[in-house]
Amino acid sequence: MISQNANKSARTRVVPGGGQRCSKASLAGPSAPARAPRKTIWIDLDNTPHVPFFRPIIRELRARGFEVIVTARDAFQVCDLARRLGVACTQVGRHHGRNRLMKVLGLFYRAFQLYGAIRTRRPMLAVSHGSRAQFILSNILGIPSVLIADYEYARFPPLMHPTWRILPDVIPDAAVEGDKRRILKYPGIKEDVYVHDFRPDSAILDELGVRGAALLAVVRPPATEAHYHNPESELLLDAVMQKLHAAPGVRIVLLPRNNRQSDDLQAKWPHFFTHHKTVIPKSAIEGLNLLWHADLVVSGGGTMNREAAALGVPVYSIFRGKMGAVDRHLAETGRLVLLQSLGDVATKIKVECRKLAEGVPLTTLTTLNRLTEQIVALTH
C-alpha cells in the first residue's frame, strides 16, 4: 500500500467532468453510460492505503450485482498505486499542501470536481475511508454516505459529516462524535480486509536493490502536513535514523509521504544516502510485500503499523498524536511497540534479524464479509 515518489511520466486521459483516468488504457473502465443502473455505489480513494483496502470490497460489491464508481485524488501516489494494483478509477482533484486555508478551499473545489465525475451516474450510496470532499458533495446532493474509519479522533466539521460510520469494534461508541444510532461495527482491523489476499514476492528486493542485506529496516516518516501531527514525531524519526544508520549491515528503505517530504529528508540527511545505505523507491510499491521481507518496521502513521502487525513483523510507532483505540489495543496485545521518547528509541528497538515465516499469518474473510454486508444493507 505504501509508495513514495509520484510517477510523473504516467499517461492519463481526460474524461467527462474534468477528471482523468487513473489507469492506463488496459486498466480503464468502460465509458459512463447515459443512465446508471439502479444499484450504484460510489467509492472515493482519498489516500494511498485506501487502494488495497477497497480493492477486495469493490470486487465483492460487483460480485453481488452492484455497479461501483471509483474516483481517486491525485495525492500521495494514490493513482500510481491504483494502476499498479489494477484498480480502475477516475482521477479527480489533488492535494493542496499544508496551508489550512488552501486545504479548506481545496476540499470544496474538489467536491465541485467530483460532481462532474458522478453527475450522470446517480449513486445510491457514497463510501470512503475519510474523504471529506465526498461528504461535502454527498450532503449537498442528498446522497447517503458511509465513513469507514479506524481512528476516532479525526475531525469532520458539520458539512462534512457522514450519514453512517463503520468502525472497528475496539473503538467505543462514546469516543465517536455524531449520532450513536448510526454507528456500525466490524471485527478485527481494516488491514484484515486485504491481508488474506497477499502473496509474498521477493522480486521487490531486486527492484529496490536491497537483496542480500544483512538486515532490512523499513521506515515511514510522520505525516507532517496532517492536522494531528505532533513535531515530537520528527525528533523520534531523527533518532531512529541515526540508530539504524550506525548499525552495521543494515539497509533502510525510507518511504516519504510525498515528493516534498522526500526532497526535504534527502537535503537534511545526505549522509544517510551514501553508498545506498538508505534507499527511496522511485515509484509506488506494494507495501505489504515490502513489510513482509523486512526485519523491522518503524512508522509515524497508523496504516503501516497495522499492516506490519497483521503480518507479524516487529513494528515500532513514532506517532505522537492522540493515540487511537486500535493502536492501544495492538500495543496492549504485544503486536505494536510505542516509542514515546528518545530513551525508548535507544532501548526498545531491537535491531536484529527475524526468521521469515513459512507463510503469511492465517486470516479469515470475516472482516471483509462483515464490511461488505453492512455496505449492502445501507443501500436498502
Q: Is residue 272 part of a domain?
A: yes
Q: Where are the beta strands (DSSP E) in 31-163?
A: 40-45, 67-74, 90-94, 125-128, 145-148
Contacts made by residues 180-185, CB under 8 angstroms, sequence distance 24+:
184/374
Query: How many domains, in total, are found in the chain?
Result: 2
Name the band, by pLDDT with cuts 50, 70 and 90, for residue 196. Answer: confident
Average pLDDT for 259-268 = 90
Q: CA-to-CA distance for 163 and 301, rounded, in angstroms?
A: 26
Range of weakest confidence among 9-23, 40-54, 247-261, 303-317: 9-23
- Quickly count: other Cβ atoms within 10 Å of residue 119's Cβ: 13
DSSP H or E run through 279:
strand 278-279
Q: CA-to-CA distance for 46 and 58, rounded, in angstroms?
A: 15
Q: Is residue 70 part of a domain?
A: yes
User: Are residues 77 and 101 located together in one domain of the fold?
Assistant: yes
User: Are residues 160 and 276 located together in one domain of the fold?
Assistant: no
pLDDT in tens, 286-340: 889 999 999 999 999 778 999 999 999 999 999 998 899 999 999 999 999 999 9
What the block records as the C-alpha cell of 99 is 496551508
* pTM for this prediction: 0.81
User: Are residues 188 and 324 located together in one domain of the fold?
Assistant: no
The values of phi and psi at residue 132, to 5°, are: -65, -35
User: Are residues 145 and 232 located together in one domain of the fold?
Assistant: no
User: Are residues 179 and 67 located together in one domain of the fold?
Assistant: yes
User: Are residues 146 and 238 located together in one domain of the fold?
Assistant: no
Instruction: List the CATH number of the domain containing 33.
Output: 3.40.50.2000
User: Are residues 153 and 228 located together in one domain of the fold?
Assistant: no
User: Are residues 207 and 133 located together in one domain of the fold?
Assistant: no
- Segments forming the whole domain that contains residue 233: 203-348
What the block records as the C-alpha cell of 40 is 450504484
Q: Is residue 158 part of a domain?
A: yes
pLDDT at residue 35 greater than cutoff 80: no
User: Are residues 212 and 323 located together in one domain of the fold?
Assistant: yes
Q: Is residue 73 part of a domain?
A: yes
Q: What is the dihedral of CA 88, 281, 8, 75, to 10 degrees?
A: 60
- Amino acid, res. 179: D
